[in-house]
Chains A and B, each alone.
Chain A
Amino acid sequence: MKTVRARALTSTATAALLLAVTGCSTMGGESASEPSSPSTSADGEPTGKVVLVTHSSFSLPKGLVRDFESETGLDLETRSAGDGGTLTAKLSLTKDDPTGDVAFGVDNTFASRPLDEGVFASYAAELPDGAEQYALEGEDRLTPVDVGHVCVNVDTTWFEREGIEPPQTLDDLAAPTYEGLFVTSGASTSSPGMAFLLSTIAEYGEDGWQDYWADLLANGAKVVDGWEDAYYGDFTQGGGGGERPIVLSYDSSPAFTVKGGRSTTAALLDTCFRQVEYAGVLEGAANPAGAEAVVDWLLSDEVQAALPTSMYVFPVSDAVEVPEDWARHAEQPADPYEVDPGEIAANREQWLTEWTDVISR
């Protein structure tokens, strides 16, 4: 009797476990992706599956994607992973056998290397008004899609409360008034950190930026790992209970700290570095026609208009309106710092090594 019951219980438990396992498994629900037949239909329109390779910040409203698919008959599949650097490394490593048809998210600090390696194919997309200024000179393999600026942000409420005038320039950050108030993310560990390093290089020159950084650190600037750490961990308006009212962030950030119709933060427009993100058709794409359609779509008014809310960046197109909060609180710098992509690629390692030496001193 006892044995029988024990066995019954055991089998019940086993069955339950099996059910739980199969029920919860990811394997059952996965439908095999249908074989892609990249082709061009009779009327010359692209069809089939098109794969977009991008970084993990990529995001667009589902409705837009659906509209695109129903209009073109394409099946858009997005594969996003890592940051811009990871994306670039991924594209370079897989250039002989790309993981997709089209890429989005390589920015001007990383653009030079994949271009040199022949990752992208030529495609002269028709640029919307205003986008021309962001295009790489004489280069039709990468198409500008969005633009953002890495700027020093300040907590305006803090400065009002303390009765101190907020800083304006890079020089100010090293001034005694602002001692111990600035937090930035590292150039070696974060993309905005790298952009800020490039700002200082653009401002102080190849031989002057090291001294500036030494002054900055001597003035109590804090260097943390990522943007999240700086903004949420140390910034007074980040929500994480930080103590520093000056932080490295973006020109769009003030649009996200609006309280009672007024932003509690401001971007210092004289400290900004321009980051342009590009899209490009991948060399060796299985569906080049589809890839070109995706690039065109990224430049369309619908996508351009969705960029601020979806990806926190400005559109390259003048034709679309930015959201109200953005229009009111997020101002773009007129004359940001820029460094030539080729020069960045050539010097990145040396600059980072020197930078690391300076901050580890």
Chain B
Amino acid sequence: MRRLVALAALALGPVLLLGVFFVLPVSGMVSRGFWVDGRLDVGGVLDVLTRPRVLRVAWFTVWSSTVATVVAVLLGMPAAHALHRLALPGRRVVRAALLVPFVLPTVVVGVAFRQLLGESGPLGFLGLDGTPVAIVAGLVFFNVAVVIRAVGAAWESLDPRPGEAAAALGAAPWQVFLTVTLPALRPAIVSAASVVFLFCATAFGVVLTLGGVRHATVETEIYLLTTTLFDLRAAAALSLVQLVVVVVLLVVAARLRATPDASTARTAPRPRRPRRRDVPVLLATTLLLGLVALPIVTLVAGSLHVDGAWSLENYRRLTTPGEDQALLVPVTTALVTSLRTAVDATWMALLMGLAVALLVTRRSRTRAERRVRGALDLFFMLPLGVSAVTIGFGFLISLDRPPLDLRDSPMLVPIAQALVALPLVVRTIAPVLGGIDDKQRQAAASLGASPWRASLTVDLPVVWKPLLAASGFAFAASLGEFGATAFLARDERPTVPVVIFRLLGHPGEHNYGMALAASVVLAVATAVVVLAVERLRVPSLGAV
């Protein structure tokens, strides 16, 4: 009983935050759909679900997200190995660069993709423009970094001895991988896959831009229903569908994730030099990097092109408010705002994420406790799976009276971004924390260490690197976040994606060029910050 109380106390902060900034707004919006003229109308909502269009949309969402998730995992695994276990030159830079897609505005990437795949593009002969294949490619482009980072972080701290033992028993490398490495990585893979699936299922811009108007997903449909058709009932129905699908997915993922013997080595092996048998892995990694780099290169090239000639003019313009004062502030100012907001969102996400990860990975003593932990784990993943439109409008209608009169608070933006990044943080840290032998903490406690101190001694050294990886994620996710930010950001403080969107909203080649240049600047800033964070070393912890 006392443990349950302690559990509740630790959970209180994050739960409260999520309650106010997620449960309240979403339930507010959904209930608007259910209550018609002051009367509860469940049947009307359920009727929506029988519309053929809704079924088609739901099916396409599940299909495209599943395919994209599988592809991202398959492509991400070799890269995770190569970039986290092999001593490749420049792997740190590549790892940081892989987060770039995360921050690129989808419209910009969409245009870059379409320049590649479009009728006149170098890959135009494939005829993929506007097809589901293009959507899947776009989703993979945006999300493969999640797999690489989350699985890589787990791989890095994986105990190599069981694999060596298997090899000594006569297992070929591929057998070692299938029978030892893969099962040990399963929690991380399932974690990453579930996050990717959620990102894909709620992707908005990518689907719109790459899929044209033919391929609607639940997310785009909710947007249409809410802002164009004002059909709140149908939007509520679809929001519920999203919730149900997400919960089912997460329950399945939690089952798959549970491994009794995932062990984390305290002293991970140093990355080794690549050998000949790593060639397939390296080839696969190179292929993936090429695929990710192509749209980015297109983008960079585009930003350096002015009136058919190479020029830095687009970058020079970034310090001005644009032609005819298209922007309220120069892009450089917006960049500062973006970075500051991202710093706030990152520490919030890390703090909450760490608390949640600790909560959900501690060994449960009773079945009731285990259930509570499981439910909390699921609860904190939910923000990823629910439409940003629903949450955004929900803010407006539910956070409008004291003590929660927050809808114009400047803190809403970093909080919203932190909620988006939270599941990423949790899913990156939790598998590693879960792999720590609980006896280590008990050993510390028996020597007189308070639970706090025991955690510092035992958990921090192991979780340090994944935490850095997670902070990179949170930072990038915050920098690139557009949906919630555009809805909540105050005019005098736009972030870079908001500015880019503004630039793209107006005709004129210069505005387009500036948008490209601003995207490149955003990407570079992200890569640099992530790289710097990864370089951080706390001497007493990192140096072993």
Contacts of B278 in A (CB 8 A): none
Question: Is B177 positioned at the interface, with any CB of A under 8 Å from its CB?
Answer: no
Q: In the complex, are the beta carbons of A88 and B227 less than 8 A apart?
A: yes
Interface size range of chain A in the complex: 35 or more
Known: A93-B397, A359-B213. A188 touches B224 (CB 8 A): yes
Pick from B120, B224, B509: contact of A243, CB under 8 Å: B120
Question: Is A37 positioned at the interface, with any CB of B under 8 Å from its CB?
Answer: no
Q: In the complex, are the beta carbons of A189 and B540 less than 8 A apart?
A: no
Q: Mark B506-528, 1 if CB is under 8 A from A, else 0.
A: 11110011000000000000000
Known: A25-B340, A82-B486, A194-B228. A97 touches B400 (CB 8 A): yes
Q: How far is the CA of A91 from the CA of B34 in the complex (A)?
A: 20
Q: Smallest distance from the beta carbon of A121 to chain B beta carbons, Å? A: 19
Question: Is B127 positioned at the interface, with any CB of A under 8 Å from its CB?
Answer: no
Contacts of B212 in A (CB 8 A): 186, 222-225
Selecting from A132-140, A248-256, A296-304, the interface stretch reads A248-256
Question: Is B491 positioned at the interface, with any CB of A under 8 Å from its CB?
Answer: yes
Known: A253-B507, A257-B509. A229 touches B114 (CB 8 A): yes
Interface contact tally, CB-CB below 8 A:
195
- Enumerate A230-275 residues with CB–CB distance to B below 8 Å: 231-234, 237-243, 249-250, 252-253, 256-257
Known: A56-B498, A79-B491, A225-B208. A94 touches B214 (CB 8 A): no
- Enumerate A57-99 residues with CB–CB distance to B below 8 Å: 57, 59, 61-62, 78-83, 85-86, 88-90, 92-94, 97, 99
Q: In the complex, are the beta carbons of A82 and B487 less than 8 A apart?
A: yes
Q: In the complex, are the beta carbons of B505 and A56 less than 8 A apart?
A: yes
B410's nearest neighbour on chain A, judged by CB, is A30
Known: A25-B343, A88-B227, A225-B208. A232 touches B400 (CB 8 A): no
Q: How far is the CA of A359 from the CA of B215 in the complex (A)?
A: 11
Q: In the complex, are the beta carbons of A242 and B120 less than 8 A apart?
A: yes
Q: Smallest distance from the beta carbon of B258 to chain A beta carbons, Å? A: 35
Q: How far is the CA of A83 from the CA of B483 in the complex (A)?
A: 12
Contacts of A62 in B (CB 8 A): 325, 328
Q: Mark A139-180, 1 if CB is under 8 A from B, else 0.
A: 000000000000000000000000000000000000000000
Contacts of B229 in A (CB 8 A): 348-349, 352
Q: In the complex, are the beta carbons of B111 and A243 less than 8 A apart?
A: no
Contacts of B337 in A (CB 8 A): 26
Question: Is B89 positioned at the interface, with any CB of A under 8 Å from its CB?
Answer: no
Q: In the complex, are the beta carbons of A99 and B407 less than 8 A apart?
A: yes
Question: Is A122 positioned at the interface, with any CB of B under 8 Å from its CB?
Answer: no
Q: In the complex, are the beta carbons of A228 and B504 less than 8 A apart?
A: yes
- Enumerate B103-149 residues with CB–CB distance to A below 8 Å: 107, 110-111, 114-115, 118-121, 130
Question: Is B220 positioned at the interface, with any CB of A under 8 Å from its CB?
Answer: yes
Question: Is B536 positioned at the interface, with any CB of A under 8 Å from its CB?
Answer: yes
Question: Is A6 positioned at the interface, with any CB of B under 8 Å from its CB?
Answer: yes
Selecting from A7-15, A38-46, A206-214, A332-340, the interface stretch reads A7-15
B396's nearest neighbour on chain A, judged by CB, is A94
Q: Mark A100-120, 1 if CB is under 8 A from B, else 0.
A: 000000000000010000000
Q: In the complex, are the beta carbons of A89 and B226 less than 8 A apart?
A: yes
Q: In the complex, are the beta carbons of A85 and B213 less than 8 A apart?
A: no
Q: In the complex, are the beta carbons of B401 and A224 less than 8 A apart?
A: no
- Enumerate B338-374 residues with CB–CB distance to A below 8 Å: 339-341, 343-344, 347
Top 5 nearest A-B pairs by Cβ distance? A186-B213, A239-B509, A85-B227, A256-B508, A225-B208
Residues of A with Cβ closer than 8 Å to B?
6-7, 9-10, 13, 20-21, 24-27, 30, 33, 56-57, 59, 61-62, 78-83, 85-86, 88-90, 92-94, 97, 99, 113, 186-189, 193-194, 222-229, 231-234, 237-243, 249-250, 252-253, 256-257, 309-310, 312, 348-349, 352-353, 356, 359-360
- Further 5 A-B residue pairs, CB within 8 A, beyond A93-B393, A256-B508: A10-B539, A83-B227, A94-B397, A222-B130, A231-B507
